[in-house]
Amino acid sequence: MSDNIPNTDQDRSDRTGDHKNSRRTFFKNIGLVGAAAAAGGAAIYSGFKYEESKPNHDFVKVLTADNRLVEVPRSQIKDIKVDLTRLQLAGREGLKGHRWVMVIDLSKCRNARKCIAACQSAHHLRPYEYHINTLIMQESENTAPYYMPKPCQHCDNPPCVAVCPVNATFKRQDGVVLIDNERCIGCRFCIAACPYSARMFHWEEPLMAESDQGKTYNIELNVPQRKGTISKCLFSSDRIREGKLPYCVSTCPNGVYYFGDENQDAVTNGTTKETHRLSELLRDNAGYHLMADLGTKPRVYYLPPKNRLFEFKDKRDKNKETT
Amino acid sequence: MTMASEVNTGFLNDKRLDSIAADILRPVGISKGFLIWMGFLGISLLGCMYAYYLQWDKGLIVTGLRDYVSWGMYIANFVFFVATSLVGMLISSVLGLIGFKWVKPIARIAEIIAVAFAAIAGLVIVLDMGRPERLPYVFMYGRIQSPILWDVTVVTTYLVLSTLLYFIPLIPDLAISKGKIGHTPKWLQATYEILSVKWNHTSEQYKILLKSVRILLILIIPTAFAIHTVTSWLFAVTLRPGWDSTIFGPYFLTGAFVAGSAAVVILMYFVRTNYKLDNYLTFHHFDMMGKLLVLVSIVYVYFNINEYLVPAYKLKTAEAIHLHDLFVGDYALMFWSVQLLGVVIPIILLLFRFFRKPLPMLIISMVVLVASWFKRLLIVVPTQENPFLPKQFVPKAWMVYHPTVIETAITILPILLAVIIITLLVKLFPVIPIWEIAEEQAEKHDQTQE
């Protein structure tokens, strides 16, 4: 017990020491708690922010410009408005350094009409509205009939471009002849001037007028199509801008079409994907122009319909109707 | 217009002026017949405008036009309008400058036709456009390489010159008439007052008038040649069989004189009988117009022979198909009717004096005018029905051209408008030049006295 008494001071001191000690601890603790609270708060806040920004597993499948199917979070999707002026300027300028050219091998065409369907679906046309049509040809009575796909010839001396009063149809530096349906006044002088009957007119509301409403006009696809204006084959300018073969060329099941660049002297077959020298292809197969005597200088070449590997089924009929 | 360099203003004091003015001004004004006629034209016009509304709304699908035959009655109508308007130049300028005095009383009739048809020609083209609201684009983005731009330019110029050629010689008449049309409404009298631009018949004013009219008469000749030559080039610049021709300019021009002369005869007849102006539009005038019609028709036959015979001799593949259609094919009936009734038979009949009297002339001219309209259709349509490449895999209706009722109404619309303009000009203003007739008679009187 006595120990207790002398120890009192000690105790006191201890106590005071204790006191001091506990105050320090207290403050220390307070500091810790404060720091912890701040950290926790920050953590909670950042966690909250994180939660807020975190992808919520709602993905959307998107086809990229180079044709890859990718997934992106819905929250990352932003609407962009395609700029008409930019499309128009690029579309009128064309692809520098190229001279597009098509070769059609008549010995292979068996009138599958797949090219026509692909073209019509890409350009939102009715079954009897043609950018490209396959015709049953026969030069004279005793010569053999054959099928001839007939797109726009993209002439280097285009009669249609010459007569257009408002520069709605024009020739690009890469050889393509396009039509701007934002400009076309619908006078149809180009239809009258074209010796290949390659142009069509929208006599009524176009097939997909309603669903295409509000879309930005793409001059290289000529969609949306417009009532009261001209439409025509575009050499699939939207596809060649992406480094792809035209719709008709890549859809043909019979290897009829070659497409490529005259500057590179190379054309690729749309079916076999084989690339050939343009000059050799034309030389070896006696390539020719359709109605070359008219002086229109077409960019489409034909290879003669020799050695056909199939029988000609259609009756020869000058004016065949649709069925 | 005579080409004397000075006008002897003595005719103003001649008492014959009053009786001439009284004769010519008697029908001027608003009569019951005029109102009924205008009412009829107005109601018909409304019907045609409704047809156009349908085309505006639904597109050119309401017509018989399709991708192969994409130009039809509208374009034929346009060519017809430009053609008919050319007669103003032929009668006032060519015959007037040469010095034929008999054209004096019919010169204004010819100018009225020129103004009415040239004024409406532009509208005819707009009716054919798929996007008529984009008409300003022709001026905003016009390409000088396109014949359409040349056509717009020369037709506008021709309209301005023709209007001036109608109006300037009318000024002295308006000054003479303004005190003498008390029987007409006040607004018409006020119009005369304004349009007579303070003309007070000084010899100085007549000098200026003669000089300016002379300049216009000379300027309008190349302009008139240009409008129809350029119109023919809308076809001739293409590679199509039937259009690919080097003589289309003169071929169209000579055809225009046939149509225009016939139109003038028809209007002369109605003015003569309705307004009782037998003393001014005499048998002599019809006789001379008959001879003129024979002359221009013979020249036209010459160009037709060239246009059809030369390719028919060669029979190039595409041309042969086209000519087959015209000579013995689908268009044979129309082709031969137009050639025989519109050109050959009129020439033969008009060689006889009997048929150069007013009534036979009227009937012949009506047939000639209708035939010349169909002739334009024959130039425009069959070529497109025979393109170089076969027509295949399209609906049957696309192969050949069948005009629709709506399309016909829209074709009639500009014709009604032209007739309305002609009616207004003929009925509300002196249709025969008072001062020129009076001057001529005073001159004759002076000469007989001497």
Residue B250 to chain A, least CA–CA distance (Å): 21
- Cα dihedral sign, B154-B158-B164-B165: positive
Could you give the CA distance from residue A252 to residue A116 in angstroms, rounded to a whole number? 9
Residue of A nearest to B148 (CA): A165
Q: Does the pLDDT of residue A56 top 90, yes or no?
A: no
Could you give the CA distance from residue B432 to residue A118 in angstroms, rounded to a whole number? 68
Residue B143 to chain A, least CA–CA distance (Å): 5
β-partners of residue A150 are: A133
State whether A207 and A277 are in the same domain: yes
Per-residue pLDDT of chain B (450 residues; tens, 9 = 90+): 445 567 777 788 778 889 999 999 999 999 999 999 999 999 999 999 999 999 999 999 999 999 999 999 999 999 999 999 999 899 989 998 998 999 999 999 999 999 999 999 999 999 999 999 999 999 999 999 999 999 999 999 999 999 999 999 999 999 999 888 888 899 999 999 999 998 989 999 999 999 999 999 999 999 999 999 999 999 999 999 999 999 999 999 999 999 999 999 999 999 999 999 999 999 999 999 999 999 999 999 999 999 999 999 999 999 999 999 999 999 999 999 999 999 999 999 999 999 999 999 999 999 999 999 999 999 999 999 999 999 999 998 889 999 999 999 999 999 999 999 999 999 999 999 999 999 888 888 777 776
Q: Quick check: B146 and A134 CB within 8 A?
A: no
Which two structure tokens, joined as six digits, stand for A272? 């076999």
State whether A109 and A251 are in the same domain: yes
Mean pLDDT in residue range A219-235 = 96
* B145 vs A contacts (CB less than 8 Å): 162-163
Count of C-beta atoms within a 10 Å radius of residue B173: 27
Torsion of CA A259, A261, A264, A270, to 10 degrees: -20
The DSSP line for B176-228 is HHTTS-TTS-HHHHHHHHHHTTT----HHHHHHHHHHHHHHHHHHHHHHHHHH
Which two structure tokens, joined as six digits, stand for B218? 């000379």
Q: Quick check: B67 and A200 CB within 8 A?
A: yes
CB pairs A-B closer than 8 Å: 151
State whether A33 and A180 are in the same domain: no
Q: Does the pLDDT of residue A319 top 70, yes or no?
A: no
Q: Quick check: B390 and A318 CB within 8 A?
A: yes
**Closest of B347, B310, B275 to residue B31, by C-alpha:** B275
Q: Quick check: A322 and B393 CB within 8 A?
A: yes
Q: Quick check: B394 and A193 CB within 8 A?
A: no
How confident is the model at residue B170, as a pLDDT? 96
CATH number of the domain encompassing residue A150: 3.30.70.20
Range of the domain at A197: 84-303
Establish if A289 belongs to a structural domain: yes
What is the residue whose two structure tokens read 């009415």?
B116
Residue B98 to chain A, least CA–CA distance (Å): 38
3-state DSSP call for residue A185? Answer: coil
Establish if A166 belongs to a structural domain: yes
Establish if A11 belongs to a structural domain: yes
Q: What is the pTM of this model?
A: 0.86
Query: Under 8 Å CB-to-CB from B412, ≥6 apart: which residues?
Result: B44, B48
Whether CATH 1.20.1630.10 fits B26-432: yes
State whether A231 and A101 are in the same domain: yes
Query: Under 8 Å CB-to-CB from B163, ≥6 apart: which residues?
Result: B115
Angle at A61 between CA A55 and CA A67, to 5 degrees: 130
Which two structure tokens, joined as six digits, stand for B196? 């007579």
Establish if A317 belongs to a structural domain: no
Establish if A124 belongs to a structural domain: yes
Q: Quick check: A196 and B388 CB within 8 A?
A: yes
State whether A150 and A41 are in the same domain: no
Could you give the CA distance from residue B11 to residue B236 in angstroms, rounded to a whole number? 51
On the CB side of B437, CA atoms within 13 Å amount to 27
Q: Does the pLDDT of residue A284 top 60, yes or no?
A: yes
Q: Does the pLDDT of residue A5 top 50, yes or no?
A: no
Rg (Cα) of chain B, in Å, rounded? 23
Q: Quick check: B391 and A197 CB within 8 A?
A: yes
* Number of domain units in chain A: 2
What is the maximum span of chain A, computed from C-alpha positions, in angstroms?
144
Could you give the CA distance from residue A185 to residue A182 in angstroms, rounded to a whole number? 9
Mean pLDDT in residue range A272-276 = 96
State whether A31 and A100 are in the same domain: no
Establish if A5 belongs to a structural domain: yes
- Asked if omega into B346 is within 30° of 0 (cis), the reply is no
Q: Which of residues 118-147 of B touch A (CB under 8 A)?
A: 125, 128-132, 134-135, 137-138, 140-143, 145-147
Residue of A nearest to B384 (CA): A192
Q: B239 CB near a chain A CB, below 8 Å?
A: yes
Query: Most B CBs within 10 Å: which of A132, A166, A290, A293, as the mutation test of the B interface?
Result: A166
Establish if A279 belongs to a structural domain: yes
State whether A48 and A110 are in the same domain: no
Q: Is A270 exposed, middle or buried (0-12, 13-18, 19+ CB in 10 A)?
A: buried
How confident is the model at residue B178, as a pLDDT? 87
* A227 vs B contacts (CB less than 8 Å): 59, 130
Residue pair A165/B146 in contact (Cβ under 8 Å)? The answer is yes
State whether A135 and A181 are in the same domain: yes
State whether A50 and A90 are in the same domain: no
State whether A216 and A166 are in the same domain: yes
Establish if A75 belongs to a structural domain: no
How confident is the model at residue A292, as a pLDDT? 95
**Closest of B86, B75, B71, B10 to residue B259, by C-alpha:** B86
pLDDT-based confidence at residue A4 (cuts at 50, 70, 90): very low
